[in-house]
Amino acid sequence: MLKVHQIDVFYGNIQALKGVSLEVQEGEIVTLIGANGAGKSTLLKTLSGLLKPKKGTIQYLENSIAGKPAQSIVKAGISHVPEGRRVFANMTVEENLQLGAYLRKDLQGVKQDFERVYELFPRLLERKKQLSGTLSGGEQQMLAMGRAIMAKPKLLLLDEPSMGLAPLMVKTIFSIIEEINRAGTTILLVEQNAHMALSIANRAYVIETGSVVASGPAAELQASEQIKEAYLGGL
Amino acid sequence: MKKVKGFWIYVVLSVVIYGVVQLLINGGILNPFYANTLIFIGINIILAVSLHLVIGITGQFSIGHAGFLAVGAYISAIITMKFQLPFPLALLAGGIVAALAGLLVGIPSLRLKGDYLAIATLGFGEIIRIVFLNIDYVGGASGMQVTHLTTWTYTFICLFITITVITNFTNSRHGRACISVRENEIAADAMGINTTYYKVVAFALGSFFAGIAGGLFAHNFYIIQPGNFGFLKSFDILIFVVLGGLGSLSGSVIAAILLTVVSTFLQDYPETRMIIYSVVLVLVMLYRPQGLMGTREVTDLFGKWKGPKGGNSYGK
Q: Please check whether residue A150 is in contact with residue A100, taking contact to mean a CB–CB distance below 8 angstroms.
A: yes
Verify whether the Cβ–Cβ distance A99 to B184 is below 8 Å.
Answer: no
The letter for the amino acid at A204 is A
Does the beta carbon of B177 lie under 8 angstroms from any beta carbon of chain A? yes
Q: Please check whether residue A104 is in contact with residue B192, taking contact to mean a CB–CB distance below 8 angstroms.
A: no
Does the beta carbon of B176 lie under 8 angstroms from any beta carbon of chain A? yes
For residue B307, what pLDDT band results from cuts at 50, 70 and 90?
very low
> Contacts of residue B186 in chain A, CB cutoff 8 Å?
50, 82, 86
User: Which residue in A70, A91, A103 is closest to B312 by CB distance?
Assistant: A91
Torsion from C-alpha of B44, B47, B50, B56, nearest 10 degrees: -70
**Per-residue model confidence (pLDDT) at position B304:** 45
In three-state form (DSSP H/G/I as H, E/B as E, the rest C), the secondary structure along B25-69 is HHCCCCCHHHHHHHHHHHHHHHHHHHHHHHHHHCCCCCCCHHHHH
Q: Domain check: are A84 and A70 in the same one?
A: no
**CB-neighbour burial class of residue B12 (10 A; exposed 0-12, middle 13-18, buried 19+):** exposed
Verify whether the Cβ–Cβ distance B177 to A69 is below 8 Å.
Answer: no
pLDDT digits (tens, 9 = 90+) for A97-139: 999 998 888 889 999 999 999 999 999 999 999 999 999 999 9
Average pLDDT over every residue of B63-67: 93
Instruction: Give yes or no for residue A75 having a pLDDT over 60.
Output: yes
**Per-residue model confidence (pLDDT) at position B312:** 40
Q: Domain check: are A116 and A162 in the same one?
A: no
Instruction: Give yes or no for residue B110 having a pLDDT over 90.
Output: no
For residue B312, what is the enclosing H or E element? Answer: none
**Per-residue model confidence (pLDDT) at position B31:** 85
For residue B303, what pLDDT band results from cuts at 50, 70 and 90?
low
List phi, psi (to 5°) of B118.
Answer: -60, -45
Give, in degrees to the nearest 5, the angle at Cα B260 between B49 and B47.
Answer: 20
Whole-angstrom distance, CA of residue B164 vs CA of residue B95 = 16
Q: Domain check: are A10 and A68 in the same one?
A: yes
Does the beta carbon of A73 lie under 8 angstroms from any beta carbon of chain B? yes
Count of Cβ atoms closer than 10 Å to residue B80 Cβ: 22
Interface probe, candidates B191, B312, B314, chain A, greatest A C-beta count within 10 A: B191
Verify whether the Cβ–Cβ distance A82 to B295 is below 8 Å.
Answer: no
Q: Please check whether residue A23 is in contact with residue A215, taking contact to mean a CB–CB distance below 8 angstroms.
A: no
Q: How far is CA A11 from the centre of its chain?
A: 21
Q: Domain check: are A86 and A136 in the same one?
A: yes
pLDDT digits (tens, 9 = 90+) for B119-168: 999 999 999 999 999 998 988 888 899 999 999 999 999 999 999 999 99
For residue B251, what pLDDT band results from cuts at 50, 70 and 90?
very high
Q: Quick one: how many helices (H) and strands (E) in chain A?
A: 10, 10
**Per-residue model confidence (pLDDT) at position B252:** 93
User: Which residue in A70, A89, A100 is closest to B183 by CB distance?
Assistant: A89
Q: Domain check: are A69 and A176 in the same one?
A: yes
Average pLDDT over every residue of B282-294: 85
Q: Give the nearest chain A residue to B194 (CA atoms).
A: A71
Q: Quick one: how many helices (H) and strands (E) in chain B?
A: 13, 2
Does the beta carbon of A8 lie under 8 angstroms from any beta carbon of chain B? no
Verify whether the Cβ–Cβ distance B190 to A81 is below 8 Å.
Answer: yes
Give, in degrees to the nearest 5, the angle at Cα B291 between B288 and B296.
Answer: 115
Strand partners, A17: A9
User: Which residue in B177, B191, B247 is closest to A74 by CB distance?
Assistant: B191
Handedness of CA B124, B129, B133, B138 (dihedral sign): positive
Residues in chain A: 235
| pTM, rounded to two decimals | 0.84
Question: Which one has a higher pLDDT value, A73 or B285?
Answer: A73
User: Which residue in A90, A129, A151 is closest to B295 by CB distance?
Assistant: A90
> Contacts of residue A100 in chain B, CB cutoff 8 Å?
191
pLDDT digits (tens, 9 = 90+) for A171-222: 999 999 999 999 999 999 999 888 889 999 999 999 988 999 989 999 888 8
User: Which residue in B183, B190, B194 is closest to A91 by CB distance?
Assistant: B183
Q: Please check whether residue A72 is in contact with residue B197, taking contact to mean a CB–CB distance below 8 angstroms.
A: no
For residue B134, what is the enclosing H or E element? Answer: none
pLDDT digits (tens, 9 = 90+) for B17-32: 899 888 888 888 888 8
Whole-angstrom distance, CA of residue B294 vs CA of residue B87 = 37
Question: What is the count of structural domains for chain A?
Answer: 2
Average pLDDT over every residue of A145-170: 92
Q: Domain check: are A51 and A166 in the same one?
A: yes
Q: Domain check: are A164 and A142 in the same one?
A: no
User: Which range has the worst mean pLDDT, B20-34, B64-78, B189-203?
Assistant: B20-34
User: Which residue in B183, B188, B193 is closest to A90 by CB distance?
Assistant: B183
**CB-neighbour burial class of residue B315 (10 A; exposed 0-12, middle 13-18, buried 19+):** exposed
Whole-angstrom distance, CA of residue A82 vs CA of residue A144 = 8
CA atoms within 13 Å, Cβ hemisphere of B35:
20
Does the beta carbon of B294 lie under 8 angstroms from any beta carbon of chain A? no
Q: Domain check: are A199 and A157 in the same one?
A: yes
Q: Domain check: are A213 and A227 in the same one?
A: yes
Q: Which domain holds residue A26?
A: 1-77+153-234
- Do β-strands A203-208 and A29-33 pair in parallel, antiparallel, or remain unpaired? parallel
Question: Which one has a higher pLDDT value, B294 or A166?
Answer: A166
Instruction: Calculate the average pLDDT of chain A.
Output: 91
Order the strands of the A14-24 sheet from edge to edge. Answer: A14-24, A2-11, A55-60, A63-64
Question: Which of A140, A143, A151, A2 has its CA nearest to residue A79?
Answer: A151
Q: DSSP readout, A43-94? A: HHHHHTTSS--SEEEEEETTEE-TT--HHHHHHHTEEEE-TT----TTSBHH
In chain B, what are the domain boundaries? 51-311
Could you say which of A151, A172, A207 is where a domain stops? A151
Does the beta carbon of B58 lie under 8 angstroms from any beta carbon of chain A? no
Q: Domain check: are A174 and A226 in the same one?
A: yes
The letter for the amino acid at A8 is D
Could you say which of A129, A151, A173 is where a domain stops? A151
Q: Give the nearest chain B residue to A95 (CA atoms).
A: B176
Q: Which residues contact A105 (CB under 8 A, 6 or more apart)?
A: none
How many inter-chain contacts (A to B, CB under 8 Å) are there?
78
Percent of chain A with pLDDT over 90: 72
Could you say which of A132, A151, A170 is where a domain stops? A151
In three-state form (DSSP H/G/I as H, E/B as E, the rest C), the secondary structure along A124-166 is HHHCCCCEHHHCCHHHHHHHHHHHHHCCCCCEEEEECCCCCCC
Q: DSSP readout, A175-189? A: HHHHHHHHTT-EEEE
Verify whether the Cβ–Cβ distance A71 to B192 is below 8 Å.
Answer: yes
Q: Domain check: are A72 and A158 in the same one?
A: yes
> Contacts of residue B194 in chain A, CB cutoff 8 Å?
69-71
Strand partners, A214: A206
Residues in chain B: 316
Instruction: Calculate the average pLDDT of chain B.
Output: 87
List phi, psi (to 5°) of A25.
Answer: -90, 155
Q: Domain check: are A45 and A141 in the same one?
A: no
User: Which residue in B180, B312, B314 is closest to A99 by CB distance?
Assistant: B180
Q: Give the nearest chain B residue to A77 (CA atoms).
A: B192
Q: What SS3 state is found at B248?
A: coil
Does the beta carbon of B170 lie under 8 angstroms from any beta carbon of chain A? no
Instruction: Give yes or no for residue B308 having a pLDDT over 80.
Output: no
The domain that holds A158 is classified in CATH as 3.40.50.300
Instruction: Give yes or no for residue B199 having a pLDDT over 70.
Output: yes
**Per-residue model confidence (pLDDT) at position B8:** 86
Tell me the nearest-neighbour CA distance from A53 into chain B, angstroms.
17
Count of Cβ atoms closer than 10 Å to residue B26 Cβ: 10
**Per-residue model confidence (pLDDT) at position A131:** 92
Average pLDDT over every residue of A138-165: 93
Whole-angstrom distance, CA of residue A44 vs CA of residue A81 = 9
Instruction: Give yes or no for residue A7 having a pLDDT over 90.
Output: yes
**Per-residue model confidence (pLDDT) at position B297:** 82
Instruction: Give yes or no for residue B1 having a pLDDT over 70.
Output: no
Range B173-201 burial, b when 16+ CB lie within 10 A, else e? ebbbbbbbbbbbbbbbbbbbbbbbebbbb
